[in-house]
Amino acid sequence: MTRPVQGLRAWMIQRVSAIYLALFTLVMLLRLLWSPPGDHLLWRAWLASPWVFVGFTLFILLLLAHAWVGLRDVIMDYIQSLRWRSVSLAVVAGALLGLGIWAARLLIVVATP
């Protein structure tokens, strides 16, 4: 991306992730409404199936990226003070990273029956 246009990378990440997130959630919602997994074992088995697992992991990664770009935009819009902006961004980044690590752990649980 060329230098004179600042913010293009974030914008692109937000838009591209949005498309995948929209498609994935819609497909998953329809699938789960059509035939909901009746119990814990069926749920785990479905989550561990190849396409679902890869798609879901990708979903989590892109969701965190999408949430970060969005929340960062909100923080930059409403918090002008450098100190509080830094604090807010740090807290949000930390929270999203923490959620990512927690999600990774759950994915490992799902992947290892």
Partner 1 sequence: MSTPSDRPVFLNLLQIRFPATAIVSIAHRVSGVWLAVSLPFVLYLFDLSVRGAQGFAHAQTLLQHPLGRFWLALFMWAWLHHLFAGLRFLLLDMELGIEARTARRSAVWTGALALVTAVLLMGVLW
106 binds partner 1 (CB under 8 A): yes
**Touching partner 1, residues 48-87 (CB under 8 A):** 67, 70-71, 74, 80, 82
Enumerate long-range contacts of 4-11, CB under 8 Å, 24 or more apart: 10/69, 10/72, 10/73, 11/69
Of 98, 4, 106, nearest to 48 by C-alpha is 106
Q: How many residues bind partner 1 (CB under 8 A)?
A: 25
When binding is defined by CB under 8 A, the residue of 34, 35, 39, 50 that contacts partner 1 is 39
The reply to whether 102 sits near partner 1 by the rule CB under 8 A is: yes
Question: Which residues in this chain contact partner 1 in the complex, by CB under 8 A?
Answer: 15, 18-19, 22, 25, 33, 39-41, 43-44, 47, 67, 70-71, 74, 80, 82, 95, 99, 102-103, 106, 109-110
